């Protein structure tokens, strides 16, 4: 059975937001069309407390896009974004969230960032998504959303590691792109066994 996983289409990741993904909002018509094609929809929401350790503002002397060592590895520091309850953390107003069966929030522990829909950045603390998908019998996961080179990539890689079939819908995702990171992300996902499909090639009648 198939499910569509829509990653982080929130105001702060769209043009004008705190951690803008270039043209991030341009995928909305495509994503809303996909929502109509799938029977099961999961949406993720980046959901940080104020003072989150992934914010450059929590590290004196550091600027956004610098990196620091965290107990779980290297962490890119971001502008403050998707603060719980803020307008920036809200879904883009054009995203059709009504059809979602599950909204999964991530990144809500101050000390640890969470890119993937499945695990926090220590790669072991679960978000609960795997349990949900297993329990309901979903094996074929289609991914879209923001940002290709961070949360989408890690979600796809973890899905493959967990044994799902994972397919990226290539015209329904946009990346931040730091030093060629979008191209590198595509390469990593390909190496790991991800499928790639254009939204036009998704045939509703073939989805189970």
Question: Annotated active-site positions, please?
Answer: 8, 106, 151
Among 12, 20, 25, 46, which residue interacts with Zn ion (rule: CB under 5 A)?
46
Q: How many residues bind ligand VGL (CB under 6 A)?
A: 9
Q: Which is nearer to ligand VGL, 41 or 146 (CB)?
A: 146
Q: Quick one: tokens of 27?
A: 């995928």
Q: Which is nearer to ligand VGL, 115 or 186 (CB)?
A: 115
- What strands lie across the sheet with 41-46, from one edge to the other? 102-106, 41-46, 2-7, 140-146, 165-174, 195-197
Binding map of ligand VGL across residues 133-162, x = CB under 6 A, - = no contact: -------------xx--xx-----------
Query: Comparing C-alpha atoms, which of 35, 42, 4 is closest to residue 127?
Result: 42
Binding map of ligand VGL across residues 48-87, x = CB under 6 A, - = no contact: ------------------------------x---------
Write out 64-112 in H/E/C secondary structure: CCCEEEECCEEEECECCCCECCCHHHCECCCCCCCCCCEEEEECCCCCC
Query: Comparing C-alpha atoms, which of 91, 207, 86 is closest to residue 146?
Result: 91
Q: Which is nearer to Zn ion, 107 or 175 (CB)?
A: 107
- Kindly list the residues in this chain that would bind ligand VGL in the complex (CB under 6 A): 8, 13, 46, 78, 115, 146-147, 150-151
């Amino acid at each position: 059975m198939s499910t569509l996983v829509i990653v982080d289409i929130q105001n702060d990741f769209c043009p004008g937001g705190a951690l803008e993904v270039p043209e991030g909002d341009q995928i909305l018509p495509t994503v809303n069309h996909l929502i109509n094609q799938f029977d099961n929809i999961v949406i993720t929401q980046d959901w940080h407390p104020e003072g989150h350790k992934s914010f450059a503002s929590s590290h004196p002397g550091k600027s956004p896009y610098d990196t620091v060592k965290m107990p779980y590895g290297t962490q890119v520091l971001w502008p403050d974004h998707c603060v719980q309850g803020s307008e920036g953390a809200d879904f883009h107003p054009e995203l059709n969230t009504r059809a979602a069966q599950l909204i999964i929030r991530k990144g809500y522990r101050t000390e640890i960032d969470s890119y993937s829909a499945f695990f926090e950045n220590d790669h072991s603390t679960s978000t609960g998504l795997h349990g949900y998908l297993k329990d309901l019998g979903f094996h074929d996961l289609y991914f879209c959303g923001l940002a290709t080179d961070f949360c989408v990539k890690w979600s796809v890689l973890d899905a493959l590691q967990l044994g799902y079939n994972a397919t990226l819908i290539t015209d329904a995702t946009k990346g931040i792109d730091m030093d060629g990171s979008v191209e590198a992300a595509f390469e990593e996902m390909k190496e790991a066994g991800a499928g790639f499909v254009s939204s036009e090639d998704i045939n509703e009648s073939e989805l189970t």
